[in-house]
Structure 1
Amino acid sequence: MENWAVVRSGELLENQRADAEYYINPYNDYLSHLAKNSELEWQPLSAISSRLTSGHTPLRHDLKVGSVEFYTVECVDALALHRSKAKKVTGDQLAGELKRVALRKGDLLITIKRRIGMAAPLLSEPGPAAINQDVVVMTPKPGWSAAVVAAFLVSRPGQYQALRDATEQMNPYLNVQALGKILVPRLPDAQRVKIERLVKSRTDALRDSQEKYQAAQDALMAKLGWSAPSKSTSEIFELSAAKLMEDGRADAEFFAPSQYELLDALRRGSSRSISTFSAKAERGIQPVTSEGDVVVIDSKAVRELGVAAEKADRTSRAQRNLSLRGRVERDDVLLNSTGVGTLGRATCYRSREPAVCDNHVAIIRPDPSVCRPEYLALFLNSPAGRMQTERFQSGSSGQVELYPDAIGKIDVFIPLDAAGAIDGSWQDSLSEMVIEAADAMNTARDLLSEITASVALAVEQGPYGPKGYEVPAKV
C-alpha cells in the first residue's frame, strides 16, 4: 500500500527531516491534537534541563575492569535501573574524560538507541557512576521532578514523540538534539505528588525483589561452596587430540579448567543431570500471532522472576490446540536456548494463563520430588548454571544455541540431608524466597502500569487535557 503526503518546504526546513515516514506517521494526529488542545504548560525537554548530554566509551578500555559503574542501554528500563548489568570503568576515567556525565541523585537516565526513550530516575545517590554514548543524563531544573519527567517519557504521550522522531529502523536512534525537542507537560501539583509517590513505591518494590532474589542466589552458592572465576581471568591449558575427539568439541570454553572445578564441586555436594529427572527438553514452535488470550512466550519475555506477559504477543486457543509441542503448563521451567545475552536465562511459569512458547525457548518439566521447578530455574540462573550453558552452547557470531540434548547434560546441585535423602526442605526454602521476589516484581510491574495510565489520563483526558478526542486504541 502506498501512502502520500504533501509537505511544504518550510516544514522540511523546520523539522530538518526529509524522510517520508516522519510525515506519514501514525503518531502525528495524536501529537498534533495534544499540542493544539491541551491547557497544560508544555516545555521542550532541553528547556527544563540544566544538563542534557550523552556519554561515551573510553577508548581501548576493558569494560570489565574498574570500580565505577558504567551504564549502557541494557541497564535502563522503564522507571528501573538494572545495576547488575553495569560495565566497569576506572575512577581516573570518571574524574577525567567522563566527569561531564558523572551521575548523582536527582538525575534522570534516558536511552537513545534501540530501546528509545526508556527513562530511569536516580532517587538515591548512585555512587561513582557514568554512562556510555547510548544513554543520556538529564539533570532537571528546579521545579521539575526527575520521577515525573521519567514517568511521562515512558508513558504513551512521551513514547509517541520519541518513536516519531527516531531515525533508522533496524537500530532506532534519537540524537540528543531531537530528544531535547520532546515536549513535557507541567502537571498539576496533586498529580505530580501522586506520580512521585508511585514511582518511589515502584523503586522500593524493585529493590525488594532484587534483594530477595540475590539472597536466594547467595544461599545456593554458599551451600555449593564454589565461586565463579572472575570474568577478567584468562585460562591457558593444553589438551590432547584424543580428548577433543572423545567429547566431539573443539571450543576452548568447553574444556576450561574452571569448568572442571565447577563439576568437581557439584559432584562433591551431590548433583544430577537434568536428563535424570526430566523428560527431554523440548523447544516450542513459532505460532501465528492473532487476537486471543494465549500468551506467546519468546526469549525477551523470559525473565528470571517470571514471564513478562505484558510484552508478549498473543494467539488464539485454536492455534494452541493445533499441536502439543510448545504448550506451556503451570510450573514448567522455560529456558532461553538461543541468542547471545539471553541464552541460559530461565524462569518457572507460575501463571494460570494459557501459553505457548516459540522455537527460541525450551520447556523443561522436572520431577518435583527430585528438583523443585522454582529451584531449577534459580540454579540455571546462578553462576553455576550459566557457566554450564555457556559450556554446552554451540555456534558463534551471535548465532549461539543450546540444543535439547545439551540441556539434559547440565548438572544441577541437589544436596542431600543427614539421612542421605534429597533435601526437599532446603529446595523449598529457596523456592519460597524466589516466589517472594517474584511477587515483589509483579507489584513493581503493576505500579508501572498504574503510573503510565495516570500520566496518559492526566495529559489526554484530565481537566487540563484536550476535549472531545478519542485516543486511538492501536497505533
Structure 2
Amino acid sequence: MAIWSKVYYTETLKGQRLDSEYFDPTDLDIIGNLLDSCQAEPIGAGLCTVTSGYTPQYSENGIPIIRSGDLSELLITEDNLLKADPTENRIFYLKKHDVLISSIGCGSIGKVSIYLGEENTTGTVSEVTVLRNSTVNPFFLALFLMSDMGQRLIAREITGATGQQHLLPSKVKKILIPFPYEKHEWATKIYTEIVQRLSESKRFYLEAENIITYNLGVDSLTLEPNLFVTHTFKGTTASGRMDAEHFTSKSSTIEKLILDYSIRSNKEYLLGRLVTENKRGGQPLYCDDLNGLPVVNSKHVQAGQVILDRNRRCTSNSNNSLVLNFGDVLVNGTGVGTVGRCAAYLHDQPAIPDAHVTIIRTSQVDPIYLSVFLNSIAGQLQVQKHQRGSSGQVELYPEDIAKFYIWNAPKPIQDQVREMVIQSYTALEDTKRLLESAKKQVSNLFTEGGII
C-alpha cells in the first residue's frame, strides 16, 4: 500500500528538503503531537547553547579527547580515548552535564551521551555537537534524544548520502523537546542509579585485573624505563626489529617474571603455543538487513567489553571470516590509543569480526582470564613492545601476538578472575536494561493526548 504525506510548499522551503524521508507520515505525526499537546520547543529556541569542539593533533599523552565514535549511551570510558597536548592545540573543554551528539560516521551518527566528568579535563572534536547550559533537565534531554522518538527526530535532520552523512548543529537546533520541564526531575534519579551500577561493573573488572597483578607479583616490580638498553646483535636480527620500543626494560622485566614462573611450574608461557586460533577477521559484505549478523570492528572492542549497539550488519559469513562465539578473545589490531585493547566476547548472539580485529581461541587457558591478562599492565607492556608502524599507523599482527608471554596462572586464580568479569558483565547488562527502560518511559510520557 502506498504511503505518502501532503505538505505545503512553504514547509519544503522552511526545511530546505524535498526528499520523502523528511516528510515521513510517522515523523510528521510525532511533530504535530509534540507541538499541539506537549508545547514542545526546538532546541535552538533558547533551550540550550548548541556548539561543537575542535579537532586537535593527537599525541601519546595529554588531555583525553572524545570523538564521534567514542560516544556511548552509557558512560564514556576515558581509558580508551586518544590524547592531545594542550600546549600545542586549541582544545574545546567539556563541562559537566554537557549533552553530546555524534554528527558524523556510519553507525555512530546520532548517538547521544551525557558528560559527567570534571570541567577542563576532557575535550571533544568538531564532529561532536555539544548542548550546553540547558534550561531543560540535562538527564531528561539526553534520555529523550536517546529514546525511539528522539532518535526519529534526530534521523530526520541527518543530511547526505550513505557513507557521507552529517548532522549539522543548525539541524540539531530544529529538534523539538517536550514541555513542561518541571516534570523531568525523575530523570536525574534514574541516571544516578545508572551511574552507580556502571561504577559497580567497573569495580568488579578492576578487581579482576588486580588479582592478576598482585598474584603475579607485578606490584612489587620496579618498572621505571631505562635511558638505554644493551642487547645482542643476534637478538635484534632474530626479532627483525631495531627500534628502541621493542627492547624496553619494562617489558623484559615482565617477561622474565613470567618465564621464571613457567619454569618452576613446568607450564607453557608462549601464547602461540596455547591457542587453537589466532587470526584476523575478514572484510564483511555489509547490508541493510537488520537480520544480518552484527559486525564487530575496533571501536566495538573496548577494554573488558564488546559493544553490540547499532553495529553495521553483514549478509553472511563473508570472506571466510570466523563467526564469533561466546568466550572468543578479541584484540584490536590497529589504531593509536586502541591497538591491543582486548575483551572476551560474552554475548550469545553470533557476530562477524572485521579485518582490524584479531580472534584468539584457546582451551589451555581460561579465555576470560586471558582477556583480562592482556588488558593488564603485563599484557599492555607487551603490546607496546610488539606493535609495528609509525605514529598514526600502528598495527599489532597475529604473528606478533603469538610471541606474547602469558602467565598461565593456577586454576583457582583463573576461576577467581573469571567470576569477577562475569559479575562485571552482569552489572553492565543490568545497567543497559535500566537505560532501555528509562528510554521507553520517556517515549511513553507522550501520546496523542499529551503528557500522561
The alignment's TM-score, normalised by the length of structure 1, stands at 0.73
Matched, 1:181 2:174: yes
What's the counterpart of residue 283 of structure 1?
280
Q: Percent identity?
A: 26
1:71–1:129 contact (8 Å) kept in structure 2: no
- Equivalent position amino acid for 2:19 in 1: I
Q: 1:93 to 1:150 in 2, by over 3 A?
A: farther
Q: CA deviation at 1:437?
A: 0.8
CA RMSD, 1 decimal: 4.3
- Equivalent position amino acid for 1:277 in 2: L
Cα distance in 2 for residues equivalent to 1:274 and 1:63: 27
Q: Structure 2 matches for 1:383-402, cutoff 5 A?
A: 383-395=377-389, 400-402=394-396
SS of the residue aligned with 1:363? strand
* Aligned pair partner of 2:61 in 54, 64, 73: 64
Q: Structure 2 matches for 1:6-25, cutoff 5 A?
A: 14-15=14-15, 22-24=17-19
Q: Structure 2 matches for 1:82-101, cutoff 5 A?
A: 82-85=77-80, 101=93
Q: CA deviation at 1:229?
A: 6.8
SS of the residue aligned with 2:118? coil
1:116–1:162 contact (8 Å) kept in structure 2: no
Q: 1:83 to 1:323 in 2, by over 3 A?
A: closer
Q: 1:429 to 1:413 in 2, by over 3 A?
A: same
What's the counterpart of residue 463 of structure 1?
449
Q: 1:26 to 1:395 in 2, by over 3 A?
A: farther
- In the alignment, structure 1 segments of 5+ residues that lack a partner are 1-6, 416-422, 466-475
Q: CA deviation at 1:439?
A: 0.9
Q: Deviations over 1:168-211 (max 9, x none)?
A: 66565544444333221226866x35544433332222221122
Q: Deviations over 1:331-365 (max 9, x none)?
A: 22233334555432322233333444444433322
SS of the residue aligned with 2:113? strand
Cα distance in 1 for residues equivalent to 2:370 and 2:164: 35
What's the counterpart of residue 120 of structure 1?
113
Q: 1:248 to 1:354 in 2, by over 3 A?
A: same
Cα distance in 1 for residues equivalent to 2:336 and 2:27: 37
Q: Structure 2 matches for 1:133-212, cutoff 5 A?
A: 133-134=125-126, 135-142=128-135, 144-166=136-158, 172-186=165-179, 192-193=184-185, 195-212=187-204
What's the counterpart of residue 329 of structure 2?
333
SS of the residue aligned with 2:241? coil
Q: 1:47 to 1:373 in 2, by over 3 A?
A: same
Q: 1:286 to 1:108 in 2, by over 3 A?
A: closer
- Equivalent position amino acid for 2:366 in 1: R
What's the counterpart of residue 307 of structure 1?
306
Cα distance in 2 for residues equivalent to 1:351 and 1:403: 25
Q: CA deviation at 1:148?
A: 0.6
Matched, 1:363 2:359: yes
Cα distance in 1 for residues equivalent to 2:168 and 2:396: 37
Cα distance in 2 for residues equivalent to 1:175 and 1:207: 33
1:285–1:325 contact (8 Å) kept in structure 2: yes
SS of the residue aligned with 2:450? coil
Q: Deviations over 1:137-194 (max 9, x none)?
A: 434444x21001011222334334444444566565544444333221226866x355
Matched, 1:441 2:441: no
Cα distance in 2 for residues equivalent to 1:54 and 1:183: 19
The alignment's TM-score, normalised by the length of structure 2, stands at 0.76
1:49–1:139 contact (8 Å) kept in structure 2: no
* Aligned pair partner of 1:221 in 206, 213, 223: 213
What's the counterpart of residue 343 of structure 1?
339
